[in-house]
Chain A
Amino acid sequence: GENVEQHPSTLSVQEGDSAVIKCTYSDSASNYFPWYKQELGKRPQLIIDIRSNVGEKKDQRIAVTLNKTAKHFSLHITETQPEDSAVYFCAASKRDEKLTFGTGTRLTIIP
């Protein structure tokens, strides 16, 4: 089955700087890669996703890149703000199948 590794497990970034979280996956048939943000005590929220026919996708300060050959994808957050502090999870799946989640990255934005 699919295996998703996520790094780093914790990340501290000065406010205004950029943050990058990386994930690798094992199943070359996976074609959907979402990112979730989970604030303390809240539900995971889908913040951005990418499909395997696209190399990069942006939404304001958030971007995701995908390298199918290397089987890795990354979340980029620019101009970080205190409200970006949360745990971020990557995931991977084949079409219409279950998601396999990474272990999570705790991002702390230092004011």
Chain B
Amino acid sequence: SAVISQKPSRDICQRGTSLTIQCQVDSQVTMMFWYRQQPGQSLTLIATANQGSEATYESGFVIDKFPISRPNLTFSTLTVSNMSPEDSSIYLCSGGQGANEQYFGPGTRLTVT
């Protein structure tokens, strides 16, 4: 298994600003993902964070709004840019050693005012 931490755990941001969320894994993982989860809802995949190359985004998510970095096999960041109240949500990262096992970070609760 993998132990995943995220920073910050929560934040309140003003409209039009940007927030960068960090995701750290305690061991090297082959795959890392970023999700968004609204209260009471399922997990929506934002993108796959690819080590050393551009992230792969899901339909409805674009790089300009959610730039992602993954400089190595244990770390990734997600930036939520030019925020609006609609971006208020919980953002989670996940990572795994491959063959699909994915473990989640504790999430970042974002509120945009």
Binding site for B on A (CB under 8 A): 32, 34, 36, 42-46, 49, 89, 93, 95-99, 101-104
Residue from the list B1, B45, B106 in contact with A98, Cβ < 8 A: B45
**Does residue B101 face the partner (Cβ distance < 8 Å to A)?**
yes
Residues on B close to A: CB < 8 A?
Answer: 1, 30-31, 33, 41-43, 45, 48, 92, 98-107
* Contact in complex: A43, B42 (CB < 8 Å): no
Count contacts between A and B, CB distance < 8 Å: 46
A49 to B103, CA, bound (A): 12
Closest Cβ neighbor of B93 among chain A residues: A43
Judge whether B107 and A43 touch: CB under 8 Å: yes
Residues on B with beta carbons closer than 8 Å to the beta carbon of A43: 92, 104-107
Bound-state Cα–Cα, A81 to B92, Å: 28
Cα–Cα, bound, A8→B101 (Å): 25
CB pair A49–B104 under 8 Å, yes or no, is: no
Q: Give me the 10 closest cross-chain CB pairs, A-B, nearest first.
A: A32-B100, A43-B104, A101-B43, A44-B104, A43-B106, A103-B42, A101-B42, A104-B42, A93-B100, A96-B98
Per the bound structure, the CA–CA distance linking A93 and B99 in Å amounts to 10
What's the least CB distance linking B47 to chain A, in Å? 9
Distance from A86 Cβ to chain B, minimum over Cβ atoms (Å): 13
Complex contact A34–B100 (CB within 8 A): yes
CA distance A105 to B106 in the complex (A): 20
Q: Which residues of chain A come closer than 8 Å to B30, judged between CB atoms?
A: 96
Question: How far apart sit A97 and B48, CA to CA, in the bound complex (Å)?
Answer: 9
Task: Please measure, in the bound complex, the distance between the C-alpha atom of A22 and the C-alpha atom of B89, giving whole angstroms.
Answer: 27
- B100 & A96 in contact (Cβ 8 Å cutoff): yes
CA distance A95 to B98 in the complex (A): 8
Report the Cα distance A99→B92, complex, angstroms: 14
Q: A43-B92, A44-B43, A89-B42 are in contact. Are A99 and B105 (CB under 8 A)?
A: no
